[in-house]
Amino acid sequence: MRWPNAFSLAVVFLTVFGVAEGSRFHHSKCTKPLVRKEWRTLCKEEQLDYIRASLCLINKPGRSHRYFPGVTSRHDDFAASHINATGPPVGSIDIRNDLGLGKLFPGIHYNGVFLPWHRWFIWQHEQSLRNDCGYKGAHPYWDYSLDVAEAGAQLNKSPVFDGTYGFGGNGEGGTVPLPGPAQGGGGFGPNLGGCVVDGPFKHMTVHLGPDYEFQSASRCLHRNLQPELADVVLAWKGAVVPLLNQKTYAKFAFGVNVAPFNNTLPGIHVGGHICVGGTESNAWSSPEDPMFFMQHANLDRIWNLWQLKDNGKNLWDIDAPIFPNGTGVTKLDTVMYMGDYIAPPVEIKTVMDTLNRDGDGILCYEYENTAHEE
């Protein structure tokens, strides 16, 4: 397993952005936040415990079979919830033409609800790992910008793809070239690539999807790593910093899907899906790859970094379209749904502050951030 040098991974806490002020809100019910860390800063025992708990969710019976016939496991419950909340497709998706806010599909993507819904989703996954499978830690995240050329690294050599202390590697046959740099296809990208043949998930059966599909279509876990695209769309200075510089939530939420520096390229969210590829490249059923939760935790961290900028001035900013066609307004009291087999509905305002400093929220975690030069 490869370790980054101390320089690239000197760890800084969110306190530099003013999070420690939480103590002045006496309503706070979040006294011991879970501290989410980058995968390679976990010790081996912690990595193995996360993998054990992920496999436990894959082997544990699901609770939503009565709604979705293809569901067999607790892991599938999450994929089913994501597929259902994404909703049926409306027209075709090609981010080069639609710029992420066109005639895509309703629900939880390409709109203002996207970031809070996925934050809540990762939180519920963290709760499930802990409560259903005895996981002791906080949800880890994958800072993919540590694994690109700008950081002197290469995507396929990332420790997250390690066969023992990671999620296994590329699909069999290696990287299959994409038709274009930002090709949409049916979802985040074409479902190319082969079966994952090493690591803890090599024997995993994917049941749900592809697309808006709830019957069981048993198949292997696919990946199709795209290191060259990752060098451009997942780099810190190249891609994340321009995103963090967006002035409004609407621009930030748009920029996670369409690169703020080049509107023919995917932003870090779509880019993260395409660069792992295979199962991950399907906009509906991507949570079937356990890597989904690692990269969405990182996206959540980057949203949180943006929220906490300049003494937290963006913390409550949610003003963005509610429909993917650019109409409607996402509000703090917009209600989000996940399905009763995961969690009861909540208003967006309950997930805006990961530290629940006004006492009306449901979350209690923070990120230990990887350090990058700006």
Ligand X SMILES: *[C@@H]1O[C@H](CO)[C@@H](O)[C@H](O)[C@H]1NC(C)=O
CB of 81 to ligand X, least distance (A): 7
Q: Which is nearer to ligand X, 178 or 220 (CB)?
A: 178
CB of 215 to ligand X, least distance (A): 15
If the CB atoms of residues 107 and 159 are measured against ligand X, the closer one turns out to be 107
Cβ 150 to ligand X, closest distance in Å? 15
Report, in this order, helix, strand and coil percent for the chain, each rounded to 5: 40, 10, 55
Provide DSSP, 44-57.
HHHHHHHHHHHHHH
What's the token pair of residue 167? 């999620």
Minimum distance of ligand X from residue 97's CB (angstroms): 14
Whichever of 127 and 325 has its CB closer to ligand X, that residue is: 325
Q: Least separation, in Å, of the C-beta of 114 and ligand X?
A: 15
First to last CA, the chain: 27
Each residue of 190-208: b (16+ CB within 10 Å) or e?
Answer: bbbbbbbbbbbbeebebbb
Q: How far is the CB of 145 from ligand X (least distance, A)?
A: 18
For ligand X, the nearest residue by Cβ is 339
Least distance to ligand X, CB of residue 101, Å: 11
Closer by beta carbon to ligand X, 111 or else 369 = 111
Q: 167 or 214, CB closer to ligand X? A: 214
With H, G, I as helix, E, B as strand and everything else as coil, classify residue 336.
strand
Both tokens assigned to 249: 């939530």
- Radius of gyration of the CA atoms of the chain, in A: 19
CB-facing half-sphere around the CA of 180: CA atoms within 13 A: 11
Nearer to ligand X, 154 or 325 (CB): 325
State how far the Cα of 130 lies from the Cα of 132, in Å rounded to an integer. 6
CB of 173 to ligand X, least distance (A): 24
* Smallest distance from ligand X to CB 103, Å: 8
DSSP secondary structure of 13-45: EGGGGTGGGGGG-TT---SS-EEE-BGGGS-HH
Calculate the CA dihedral of residues 136, 139, 140, 142 and round it to 10 degrees. Answer: 160
Q: What's the closest the beta carbon of residue 243 comes to ligand X, in angstroms?
A: 16
Nearer to ligand X, 163 or 181 (CB): 181
Residue with tokens 């990269």: 295
* Residue closer to ligand X, measured from CB, 216 or 262: 262
- Cis peptide before 210, with omega less than 30 degrees from 0? yes
368 DSSP β-pair partners: 13
Least Cα distance to 98 among 261, 257, 242 occurs for 257
Instruction: List contacts with ligand X (CB under 6 A).
Output: 67, 84, 106, 181, 262, 264-265, 323, 325, 327, 337, 339
For ligand X, the closer of residues 66 and 247 by Cβ is 66
H or E segment at 125? helix 114-133
C-alpha to C-alpha distances, 132 to 60, 128, 208, nearest whole angstrom: 9, 5, 21
Q: Which is nearer to ligand X, 67 or 316 (CB)?
A: 67
